[in-house]
Structure 1
Amino acid sequence: MSVMQALLIALIAAIARCEGDWLGECKIREPIVTGFLVGLVLGDVKSGLMIGATLQLMWMGAVGIGPTAQLDIGIGGTIGTAVAITTGTGAETAVLFAVPVAVIMQFLNTLLMSSYSGVMLIADRKIDKLDFRGINRCHYFCGLCTFLAYFIPTFLVMFFGNNAIESVVNNMPEWVNTGLGGVAALLPCLGFALLLNIIMEKRLIPYFILGFIPAAYVGFDLTMIAIAAIAIALAWIVFMLRQNEGTTVVAVSAADDEWED
């Protein structure tokens, strides 16, 4: 990997971290976006998009709710995709590097946020003095520290650690590669499960089944399992519609009785 490529990948990782702070919610940190950008830098956009899409499915339901910490998917997806492309491997290698990096960098981000409490004390004093330039300097100082905290380690790993990474990937036993391939196939299912755990309601299950069947069987012949699933979903929808009709009729009848009284 050239110096310029390492610098650009480090820039992608740093921007992905600063996106929510300086750039608003423009979704640069999503693996499908960072995968495309990394693929563009390394000259393999197709692989970057495919690996990024796999990581996107894996992390689709990984959301931070309330005080819970969210995995740092921006740098995890960036480094995971870069390692997979440079080593000529697939999503299993991206998962191998992306998940630990995402966890480690989240811990680093937590330490950074804790250290900024001292800067906030200075900002409070600036507010009392109505020193708006001083407040801006505090803001940009924290942002610059966060940017460098992600830019520098990513560059060092990508440029100086490239040979070590290739050595680790090439010397992994076959059973490890097989296991990682299975994990890469299962983790998107986990991502969907986490997402459905948040948004799924009982009345939406039949529609989920009807959407899943075409996605799973496009280009293939429908099996009896698929036909049975479609029949169950349609029967479920009809049952819910009739149940709602019965509720409406009862409600109207009760109102009529009350009016007659």
Structure 2
Amino acid sequence: MTLFQALLIGVVSALTQLEGGWLGECKLREPVVTGCLVGLILGNVQQGLIIGAQLQMIWMGATGIGPTAQLDIGTGGTIGTAVALMTGTGAEVAIAFGLPVAVIMQFLNTLLLTGYSGLMNKADKLIDELKEKQIISIHFLCGFLTFLVYFSLTFIVMYYGNSAIEGIVATIPEWANNGLAAVSKVLPAMGFALLLNILFERDLVPYLILGFVMAAFLGMSMVSVAAVSIALAWIIYIIRSESTKVIESHETKEEL
């Protein structure tokens, strides 16, 4: 990996931490997005998208509930995809590196937020004093420090740890690679299960069965299933819109 590539990957990792604060909810932290960007940087967009999509399926059901900390999927997905592309491997290596990184960096994020708590007390006092410029300065200072920390750590890992990462991947025994490959196929199912656990309703069961039949028995691709789903949603929307118009027309006649 070249110095310039390591710098760009560090920028991608750091930018994922500014989502929700400076950049709004633009979904930059999602693995399918970071996978595409890392693939573009390393010259293999297609494989980057594939690995990012596989990581996306794993993490799509992960959510922070109550005091439970969310995984840092932005940094984990970025570094995991970069390692997989750099070593010429697949999603199994991306998972092996990405998941621990996601956990560790989330702890780091908690430490950073704890450190910023002192500045928040200062910001509260400035709000009472109506000193808007100083409040804005604190906001940008916290964002810049967060960007710098994540950029520096990612750059160091990618550039100076390049040989170490390749050595670790090369020394992984075949049985471990086989196990990781199996896990990479099971974890997406777990991700979907976690997502269904949050969104599942009885009214959605027929659509779940329909999608399963199309994919498992009819051999339809995900694009085809998505197209049928859009058509069904459109039909339901038309039916409900017509029903609403009929009800409104009936109520109008009764009023007259």
TM range (shorter): 0.7 to 0.9
Do the aligned partners of residues 16 and 217 (structure 1) sit closer, same or farther apart at CA in structure 2, a change above 3 Å counting? farther
Q: Is the aligned partner of 1:155 residue 2:155?
A: yes
User: Could you tell me which residue of structure 2 aligns to residue 9 of structure 1?
Assistant: 9
- 1:187 matched residue in structure 2: 187
Q: Could you give the per-residue CA deviations for residues 37-75 of structure 1, whole angstroms, max 9, x where no partner exists?
A: 000000000110000000000001001223321100000
Gaps of 5+ in 1: 221-261
Give me the TM-score of the superposition, normalised by structure 1: 0.82
Q: Which amino acid aligns with 2:195?
A: L
Aligned partner of 2:226 in structure 1 is: none
Separation (CA, whole Å) in 2 of partners of 1:203 and 1:185:
29
Aligned-partner Cα distance in 1 for 2:198–2:122:
40
Counterpart of 1:197, as a letter, is: N
1:146-197 Cα shifts (integer Å, max 9, x gaps): 1111110000000000100000001110000000000100000000000000
Distance in 1 of aligned mates of 2:43 and 2:217: 33
Q: SS in structure 2 opposite 1:71?
A: coil
**Aligned counterpart, 1:168:** 168
> Quick check: 1:137 aligned with 2:137?
yes
State the Cα deviation string for residues 88-136 of structure 1 (Å, max 9, x = none): 0000000000000000000000011111111012112222221111101
Task: Find the counterpart in structure 2 of residue 103 from structure 1.
Answer: 103
Cα distance in structure 2, aligned partners of 1:168 and 1:218: 42
Aligned residues: 220
Matched, 1:65 2:43: no
Question: What's 2:251 paired with?
Answer: none
Aligned equivalents of 2:218 and 2:84: distance in 1?
28
> Residue 86 in 1 paired to residue 86 in 2?
yes
1:21 aligns with 2:42: no
Once the two structures are TM-superposed, the CA of residue 202 in structure 1 deviates from its matched residue by 2.5
Deviations 1:25-44 (A, max 9, x none): 00010000000000000000
Q: Assess, with a 3 A threshold, how the Cα gap between structure 1 residues 218 and 18 changes in structure 2: closer, same or farther.
A: farther
* SS of residue paired to 1:61: coil
Matched, 1:210 2:216: no
Query: Which amino acid is the alignment partner of residue 141 of structure 1?
Result: L
Determine helix, strand or coil for the equivalent of 2:88: coil
2:128 alignment partner in structure 1: 128
RMSD: 1.1
CA deviation after TM superposition for structure 1 residue 201, in Å: 1.6
Task: Could you tell me which runs of 5 or more consecutive residues in structure 2 were left unpaired when the two chains were aligned.
Answer: 221-256
